[in-house]
């Protein structure tokens, strides 16, 4: 109990300190009635179509809300011959291996990728449990049946891929970096192997869905720099509804796209943090829990997984 209190007090203090560091600049802007710094756009130096290698001239559209580097929605990355032929709806494993990114996948900060990885995605190579056994996510096809937690056997409606590339020597952006859930981080043998997914991809734990990024503890669940990879392919599994599938032995959500799946409700409560203030409040609830336990489900799960990570890191005396 003392360890939990001390750990959460320290982390809450770090979150508050980070907010205080950024506070003076915000206060000065308000007092001086100065607008936020203007957003910066540059001409993209990449002029080679990533599909066929043909050179082309980049095009500008209207400004978007990207602060640094290249606006991924305003630069035409595909040449005129290939523009519009890329698709993110994959029906065969061959298409999954070779399909170009969807039109609109453009350079950003020296990288190529979707402007937002808000949808749940599995990194290439992730083993997904199907009715015929485990298969790599990129080998799945529309029509394959997956055992789901709430809906039984369900066919895959579509498999979507989002791709990130980077220039040699450059680190991955925060949007592109995957979260690594190490083997047995959630329980004994769960997951069975290391699992890589996007930070917004929710894990089903104790009856609720929690984004992986909200469970990061720096050891068993952490942001991975993916330094040995020059390309990151993320795959969404879309079913007829929102459900829970098994990836590397861990329960994870399927795609919940509110634009294309209008009216579909989440299969379970989705809980998590909404910024630093929310996380700091969570840490304070956990710090006070030995005296007065007012923790919410996300707090309880986070604390349990952090304590498990400490136990796994502690060498056995025998």
Name residues whose C-beta falls within 8 Å of residue 231's C-beta, 6 or more positions apart in sequence.
163, 164, 165, 166
- CB atoms closer than 10 angstroms to residue 295: 16
pTM (predicted TM-score): 0.69
At residue 27, the pLDDT reads 58
Give, in degrees to the nearest 5, the angle at Cα 102 between 98 and 106. 105
**DSSP H or E segment with residue 18:** helix 2-31
At residue 271, the pLDDT reads 94
Cis status of the peptide bond prior to 270, with omega within 30 of 0 = no
Closest-CA residue to 302 (of 217, 218, 182)? 217
Low-confidence ranges of the chain (pLDDT < 50): 34, 36-117
Closest-CA residue to 209 (of 177, 251, 181, 246)? 251
CA distance 88 to 98: 11
Q: Helices (H) and strands (E) in the chain — how many of each? A: 4, 16
At residue 173, the pLDDT reads 87
At residue 318, the pLDDT reads 60
315 in helix, strand or coil?
coil
């Amino acid at each position: 109990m003392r360890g939990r209190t001390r750990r959460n007090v320290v982390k809450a203090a770090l979150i508050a300190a980070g907010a205080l560091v950024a506070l003076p600049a915000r206060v000065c802007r308000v007092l001086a009635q100065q607008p936020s710094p203007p957003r910066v756009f540059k001409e993209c130096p990449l002029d080679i179509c990533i599909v066929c290698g043909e050179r082309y001239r980049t095009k500008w559209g209207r400004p978007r809300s990207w602060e640094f580097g290249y606006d991924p929605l305003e630069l035409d990355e595909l040449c005129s011959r290939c523009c519009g032929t890329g698709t993110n709806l994959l029906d065969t494993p061959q298409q999954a291996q070779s399909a170009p990114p969807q039109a609109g996948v453009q350079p950003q900060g020296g990288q190529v990728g979707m402007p937002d990885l808000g949808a749940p995605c599995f990194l290439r190579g992730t083993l997904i449990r199907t009715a015929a056994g485990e298969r790599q996510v990129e080998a799945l096809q529309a029509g394959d049946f997956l055992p789901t937690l709430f809906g039984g056997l369900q066919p895959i409606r579509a498999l979507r891929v989002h791709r990130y590339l980077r220039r040699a020597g450059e680190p991955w952006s925060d949007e592109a970096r995957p979260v690594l859930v190490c083997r047995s981080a959630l329980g004994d043998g769960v997951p069975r192997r290391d699992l890589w997914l996007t930070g917004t991809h929710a894990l089903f734990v104790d009856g609720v869905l929690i984004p992986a990024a909200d469970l990061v503890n720096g050891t068993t669940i952490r942001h991975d720099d993916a330094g040995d990879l020059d390309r990151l392919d993320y795959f969404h599994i879309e079913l007829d509804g929102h459900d829970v599938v098994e990836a590397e032995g861990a329960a994870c959500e399927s795609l919940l796209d509110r634009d294309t799946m209008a009216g579909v409700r989440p299969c379970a409560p989705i809980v998590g943090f909404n910024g630093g203030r929310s996380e700091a409040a969570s840490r304070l609830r956990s710090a006070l829990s030995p005296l007065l336990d007012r923790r919410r489900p996300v707090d309880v799960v986070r604390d349990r997984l952090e304590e498990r990570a400490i136990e796994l890191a502690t060498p056995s005396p025998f």
